[in-house]
Amino acid sequence: MNLKSFHIITIFPNILDSYINESLFCRAIKSKIISIKTHDLRGFSDARYGKKIKKGIQPFARVDDRPFGGGPGMVLQVEPIYRAVEFVKKKAAKGKTRIILFSTRGKRFDSKTAQRLAKYDNLIFICGRYEGIDERVADYIADEEISIGDYVLSGGEIPALTVMESISRYIPGFLGKEESLEEINGSFPTYTRPEVFSPKKGKKWSVPKVLLSGDHKKIQEWRNSND
């Protein structure tokens, strides 16, 4: 099995770690199906880079600055990102590596892209924040830019989780026993007990009868037609 490693560069590693530690990701990491490392971009700021941080003394770890040409907001600087990516590349396992930048101007993410990216051994994700990222990251560092949809979020962390989870579902073993990939089987409505739910007197929400029939051929037909 080739281990997929995800490396996520962010100024909010804790946001990602808390999700990763309480989900299918946690199990997949324990069973060595994938490895996920978050990297705090601030660790690569001018102030901290290459210096041992002494307890209690935290130099101000600036990773953003004002945009050239004026305008509101701050822009993540190219240099800390370059250092972080170089650091991660050295740490990454052997094999094929792809560097992805999350951007509102990127190519729209879909399941085809997820399947393509699932073939890499190492994926390095760069999460933007504030007004965005110095464009030189897109021009010289990233292999591709991805957008998860036509809307603006406050950072690349949610896109990173979305993309990582979607890719992971294509990695053998990630879903464990529940290997019922919707992407392969198609997606259909599901129900569980009770057969009839009565939220109020006189109201009844029933499960479609065909699903209780035990007739597997009919059930399959129903599922296909509701795909």
Least Å distance, CB 38 to ligand SAH, is 15
Assess 156 for contact with ligand SAH (CB under 6 A).
Answer: yes
Q: How many CB atoms neighbour CB 192 within 10 A? A: 6
- Residues touching ligand SAH: how many (CB under 6 A)? 18
**Beta-strand relationship, 4-10 and 122-126:** parallel
Interface of this chain with ligand SAH, residues 89 to 108, rule: CB under 6 A: 102-104
Task: For residue 5, give both structure tokens.
Answer: 């490693």
- Binder to ligand SAH among 147, 165, 169, 223 (CB under 6 A)? 147
The tokens 């529940």 sit on which residue?
178
- Report phi then psi at 91, rounded to 5: -80, -25
* Positions in 36-55 near ligand SAH (CB under 6 A): none
**Residue 128 found at the interface with ligand SAH (CB under 6 A):** yes
**Contact flag: residue 173 with ligand SAH (CB under 6 A):** no
Question: By three-state DSSP, how is residue 192 classified?
Answer: coil
Q: Tell me the residue length of the chain.
A: 227
Provide the strand spans (E) within 18-148: 34-40, 64-65, 75-76, 97-108, 122-126, 132-133, 144-147
Shortest Å, Cβ 196 to ligand SAH:
41
Nearer to ligand SAH among residue 43 and residue 156 (C-beta)? 156
Q: Which is nearer to ligand SAH, 28 or 39 (CB)?
A: 39
Question: Residues interacting with ligand SAH, by CB under 6 A?
Answer: 102-104, 127-129, 131-133, 147-149, 151-153, 155-156, 159
